[in-house]
Amino acid sequence: MQQPPGHRPGPLGILARIGGIIGAAALAGVLVALTLVPFIGGVGVVARDVVKDFQSLPDSLSTPPLPQRTLILASDGSVLATLYYQNRVEVPLENISPFMRQATVAIEDSRFLDHNGVDIRGVLRSLATNVEQGQIEQGSSTLTMQYVKNVLVNQATSAEDLDAARGDSAARKIREVRYALGLEKLFTKSDILERYLNIAYFGAGAYGVEAAARRYFSKPASQLTIAEAATLAGIVQQPTAYDPLRNPELSTERRNIVLARMAELDYITPEQADRAAELPMRAMLRPSTTSNGCTSSWAPFFCDYVVQTIRQDPTFGATPEEREAFLRRGGYTIRTTLDPKAQNGAFDTVTSYIPIRDKSRRAAAISMVQPGTGHILAMAQNREWGTEGAGRTTYNYNVDRAMGGTIGMQAGSIFKIFTLAAALEMGISPSEYISSPSPATFEGFVECDTGVPFPPVTVRNSTTSGTLDMARATAYSTNTYFMALEERTGICRPAEIAESMGVYLGNGDPLLRVPTLAIGTMEVTPLAMANAYATFAAHGVYCKPVSILDIRDRDGKQIPAPDGDCTRVLKRDVADTVTVMLNGVVDGYISGRTGANMALTDRPAAGKTGTTNESAAVWFAGYTPQIAAAAWVGDPRGGFAHPMKDVTVNGIYYSQVYGGTLPGPIWRDAMEIALAGTEPLDFDLKAIDGLTAASAVTPPAAPVEEEVVEEPTFDNFDTLLPEVPVDPAAPAPAAPPAPADPGAGDVFGPQ
């Protein structure tokens, strides 16, 4: 029997016993190099040059961590996705079957335990064979040299590096010998065998013996039988030819060669070899696959957002190349903020209101955020991940273009909160009554930078007009009231407040400072709006969106991850007064309030409907103390080209869809599911003028006379803010929609 792995000869091993006038290391280099050239004479010159090249090389090899699988988990530890550049799970030698260790040594390097990195006897044997044949017929690489080759292949960053690591050149062999001799001085035989078995490629996308055991036999490497171990050991020489899934006959022949060699070396008995050789290959196999990437995740769009975060956040590297290297290296366990209950509830809700392959081709998306932390609890849309077919897309409708999303959708009246905040901040009283007729023309707007006046702006109301206080105007979403407020605050401050809460255009640009800012003509995203509303729920404290709770490396060490970097951006009394107004929209006393149907069971809520001109996009955004969410409904092909009017969705005909028609119920039902089982909390408010939450839901002593006006229009809307075309730099859809396929290749057109 051979000595067990771990046996280590002296520093020079067998080479020291050869003697001679040439140093042992140089002799090994010369002999290996000679096996690579035809035997044509002039060996002395070749030997001299080889020795010179050999001695000029470093004898230490950098061995960075091998690429491994990365696990992305939900907040409860359930698996969202597995990511890998190479499907590998590193294991220590004690977790690898002894049969696997023996089979590998038997077929790849039977003198592994006796040489010190270069097998001189094997070199001479290979040399004799090659000389006899006049060409290279037999190699002489030891397991240590093969390990070196694999390391150099993994480290290659260019085609030239890869060719140098794989090519049949004297320079490559010399380098392998030099490094192999150095490694044998640093590591035991057990160390080298463990490293080799973890780096080797076993075909079918499996790197390392653990991944291979699971790929072919659905078991860990520690449980491999004699026949299974021989099968895997036989694959390495030609991973495609000996792949048992592709070529079971060839794989069987190769396995039996390995078994015979194991018996010849007394690792197993001839009887054991014979029994193993009789096993049919197809009967042995129990193949399994490991999904790779977010495409097969149960929350693919959120999963992709996590990956995009790593690719863009400097926490994971100063440059894009460093961040990509971080991902390729892998071996991480990433626990995310995703709440499975909230996520599944949100997805079930959007798909129940608008099925994935609904003939209308309309879409719905909702983002849910935890106030005070920025943690993203849910991110759902009524689409499957894919490039072709009805109901499939690779665009995340919840986020901006830089994060795999779109150029955004016009926000409508959910944007009015920023004008509310600016007005309260400058001291405009919520109890002040402002004349809000329809139509109304406004001439007091000036550009922020130059002070140049804008042309007059004429706006109509979509619901109630009259002389209104802040609570009524917010409950009715009266456009001319908010335009009058913005005329007094100016355009600049509402835009600054929105941007301080992370709201920018979906293409990443700052918000446009135009008069119609107040009534929501900016293209924004559900995540940005959900997080802005979360800022009001957190009493004016803004936190950046956070998708990652914790990252651990392959050794269990915690790696820094970006947090919410929470900052106060609005005074508490101002933020809380906005909450009072929005609470009145949902739970208030005012008849005809736009959010009346969105009240939650046994808990207070604040919220706002949003309907853009011609219902190009419809929204609802709102919050409780625990969760803020924003829901959008529209057409990914372009809201103005395909408005939410005269449309049948999920079998129901709508002459026109408003914020309270579809997005409001989606928000309500998703919130009910996400909050189920949690303690109802009241808003802890410190509003200005002594306002409390009760003031939003308690009627005043004397009602105010109001008039109702239907059909929203902006008289000169198109001249004020023309449609935003698709940015030329935006990614094209992977599969353009075919006329006969009503849901293929969703992509945002002009919005």
568: phi then psi, degrees, rounded to nearest 5: -75, 125
pLDDT above 50 (res 46): no
**Pairing label, strands 558-559, 617-623:** unpaired
Contact between 728 and 619 (Cβ < 8 Å): no
Instruction: Please compute, for residue 125, the number of CA atoms within 13 A of its CA located in the half-sphere on the CB side.
Output: 10
Give yes or no for residue 720 having a pLDDT over 90: no
Whole-number Cα distances in Å, 266 to 113, 197, 252, 270? 14, 21, 21, 8
C-alpha span between 497 and 419 (Å, rounded): 9
ω into 712 cis (within 30 of 0): no
Which is it for strands 558-559 and 548-552: parallel, antiparallel or unpaired? antiparallel
CB 685 within 8 A of CB 576: yes
Per-residue pLDDT at 446: 94
Superfamily of domain 13-284: Biosynthetic peptidoglycan transglycosylase-like (1.10.3810.10)
Report pLDDT digits (tens) over 369-401.
999 999 999 999 999 999 888 999 999 999 999
Per-residue pLDDT for 732 more than 50?
no
Q: Are 35 and 126 in contact (CB under 8 A)?
A: yes
Angle at CA of residue 132, ends 128 and 135, nearest 5°? 95
Q: What's the gap between Cα 146 and its chain centre?
A: 35
Q: How confident is the model at residue 63 (pLDDT cuts 50, 70, 90)?
A: confident
pLDDT for the residue numbered 65 = 85
Q: What is the pLDDT of residues 531-543, one digit of tens each?
A: 999 999 999 999 9
Domains 13-284 and 376-720 share a fold: no
pLDDT exceeds 60 at position 133: no
Domain 376-720 fold? Beta-lactamase (3.40.710)
534-562 burial, b at 16+ Cβ within 10 Å, e below that, comes to bbbbbbbbbbebbbbbebebbeeeeeebb
3-state SS, residue 388: coil
Query: Strand, coil or helix: what is 249?
Result: helix
Residue 168 is predicted with a pLDDT of: 66
Cβ atoms of 462 and 594 closer than 8 Å? no
Q: Helix crossing, 143-155 with 159-166: angle to 10°?
A: 170
Q: Determine how β-strand 333-336 pairs with β-strand 70-73.
A: parallel
Q: Would the pLDDT of 721 be above 80?
A: no
Token pair 């449980």 in the structure block, residue = 223
Residue 128: the pLDDT is: 54
Element housing 259 (H / E): helix 248-264
Confidence of residue 733 (pLDDT cuts 50, 70, 90): very low
- Report the alpha-carbon distance of residue 663 to residue 619 in Å, rounded: 5
Instruction: Write down the residue that tokens 């408005």 correspond to.
Output: 643
pLDDT (average), residues 542-550: 98
3-class DSSP state of 464: strand
707 confidence band (pLDDT: 50, 70, 90): very low
Whether 683 contacts 583, CB under 8 Å: yes
pLDDT score recorded for residue 152: 87
Q: Three-class SS string for 611-666?
A: ECHHHCEEEEEEECCCCEEEEEEECCCCCCCCCCEEEEECCEEEEECCCCCCHHHH
Query: Beta partners for 376?
Result: 369
Mapped to the 3 state alphabet, what secondary structure does 37-51 carry?
CCCCCCHHHHHHHHH
Segment 208-246, tens digit of pLDDT? 999 999 999 999 999 999 999 999 999 999 999 999 999
Give φ, ψ of 684 to 5 degrees.
-90, 90
CA angle 635, 637, 638 (to 5 degrees): 75
Q: What is the pLDDT of residue 173?
A: 76
- Stretch (H or E) spanning 260: helix 248-264
DSSP 88: -
Domain ranges in the chain are: 13-284, 376-720
Given pLDDT bands bounded at 50, 70 and 90, which one contains residue 175? confident
**What is the pLDDT, as a whole number, of residue 518?**
94
What tokens were used for 436?
Answer: 């809000």
SS3 of the chain: helix, strand, coil, percent, to 5: 40, 15, 45
The residue count for the chain: 751
Tens of pLDDT, residue by residue over 472-493, are 999 999 999 999 999 999 999 9
Higher-confidence residue of 697 and 261: namely 261
pLDDT digits (tens, 9 = 90+) for 303-359: 999 999 999 999 999 999 999 999 999 999 999 999 999 999 999 999 999 999 999
pLDDT tens digits, 176-204: 888 888 899 999 999 999 999 999 999 99
Instruction: Give the gyration radius of the chain's Cα atoms.
Output: 34
| pLDDT for res 158 | 73
Q: Is 584 helix (H, G, I), strand (E, B) or coil?
A: helix
Alpha helical stretches, state H, 38-119: 43-56, 98-108
To the nearest whole number, what is the mean pLDDT of the chain? 85
DSSP state letter for 89: -
Which of the four pLDDT bands, split at 50, 70 and 90, describes residue 60?
A: low
What is the rounded distance in angstroms from the CA atom of residue 236 to the CA atom of residue 134? 27
**pLDDT recorded at residue 12:** 38
Task: Characterize 287-321 residue by residue with b for buried, 16 or more Cβ atoms within 10 angstroms of its Cβ, and e for exposed.
Answer: eeeeeebbeebbbbbbbbbbbbbbbeeebbbeeee
Handedness of CA 86, 88, 90, 96 (dihedral sign): negative
Do 423 and 487 touch, CB atoms closer than 8 A? Answer: no
The tens digit of pLDDT for each residue in 595-604 reads: 999 999 999 9
Task: Give the pLDDT score at 119.
Answer: 82
Helix axes 526-537, 416-425, angle to 10 degrees: 30
Distance, CA of 683 to CA of 575 (rounded, Å): 12
Q: Pick the residue with more confidence: 731 or 548?
A: 548
Check whether 740 has a pLDDT greater than 70.
Answer: no
Residue 125's pLDDT is what? Answer: 63
Position 530 scores a pLDDT of 98
CA-based diameter of the chain, in Å? 114
Report DSSP state, residue 509.
P
pTM of this structure: 0.82
Phi (first) and psi of residue 251, to 5 degrees: -65, -35
> How would you classify residue 614: left for phi > 0, otherwise alpha for psi between -120 and 50, otherwise beta?
left
Whether residue 269 is predicted with pLDDT greater than 90 in this model: the reply is yes
Residue pLDDT, tens place only, 624-673: 999 999 999 999 999 899 999 999 999 999 999 999 999 999 999 999 99
**Residue ranges of E strands in 259-316:** none
Phi, psi (rounded to 5 degrees) for 111: -100, 20
Is 252 a residue whose pLDDT tops 70?
A: yes
